[in-house]
Every structure is written in structure tokens, then in C-alpha cells.
Amino acid sequence: EVQLAESGGGLVQPGRSLKLSCAASGFTFSDYYMAWVRQAPTKGLEWVASISYDGGSTYYRDSVKGRFTISRDNAKSSLYLQMDSLRSEDTATYYCTTGLLLWGQGVMVTVSS
């Protein structure tokens, strides 16, 4: 079965760090650009970051540049999002997606003191 499964979310204080993971299965992971998309409570979809097939190119929305780092391990079929200097406005459900085609179930990140 084709699947994406996120993990690593939780409650974190402002200014702290958190690392999200996404495990892919059922398809050739290295064939796809990957992305993280988030959704704040009761809000719409917001693209966060993307990474190329081999990880050589990365792209970020302005509000997370310098704070978030997207990476991948094709040998492990896994995608990551290292989130540093977290802010309250980063509170959202984070979705792992294969170039906006297949989506995971999402993982909640709450930034609050």
C-alpha cells in the first residue's frame, strides 16, 4: 500500500526545536520531489518547504527560511523537517506530501509556553 506516515509532533515551547519525520512506503521514494505543507487550526493549506529527488535542491517559504531545514534519506525512504526557533505561529498540523500528490495523515505541532 502506498503510504506516508508522519511522526515527531508535540507540544514545544517558543524558541525550542522539534524534528518531524515522514516514512514512505509502497513506492519508489527517490522518484519524487517531497514537500511539507502545514495547516493552522481552522485555517487553509500553507506550503512550507520542498526538496528535490536527491536532496540537492531545497526551497522554503520566507517565514521559515533560516529556521527550518528539510532533508531526506532515500536509503530509508524518509523525509525530515528540522524546526528550530519555533514560534507560536508555527502551530499547525504538518503534512508530508509527494509533490502535492499523495499526502500523509499529518502530525500536530503546538508551540506554546
Partner 1 sequence: DIVLTQAPLSVSVTPGESASISCRSSKSLLSSKGITSLYWYLQRPGKSPQLLIYQMSNLASGVPDRFSSSGSETDFTLKISKVETEDVGVYYCGHRLEYPLTFGSGTKLEIK
**Contact status: 1 vs partner 1 (CB under 8 A):** no
**Contact status: 95 vs partner 1 (CB under 8 A):** yes
Residue 15 forms beta bridges with which residues?
Answer: none
* Selected range binding partner 1 among 12-20, 24-32, 41-49, 76-84, rule: CB under 8 A: 41-49
Query: Are the CB atoms for 36 and 49 separated by under 8 Å?
Result: yes
Q: Are strands 78-83 and 92-97 parallel, antiparallel or unpaired?
A: unpaired
* Selected range binding partner 1 among 7-15, 21-29, 38-46, 73-81, rule: CB under 8 A: 38-46
> What percentage of the chain's residues is helix, strand, coil (to nearest 5)?
10, 50, 40
State which of residues 9, 71, 74, 103 lies at the interface with partner 1 (CB under 8 A). 103
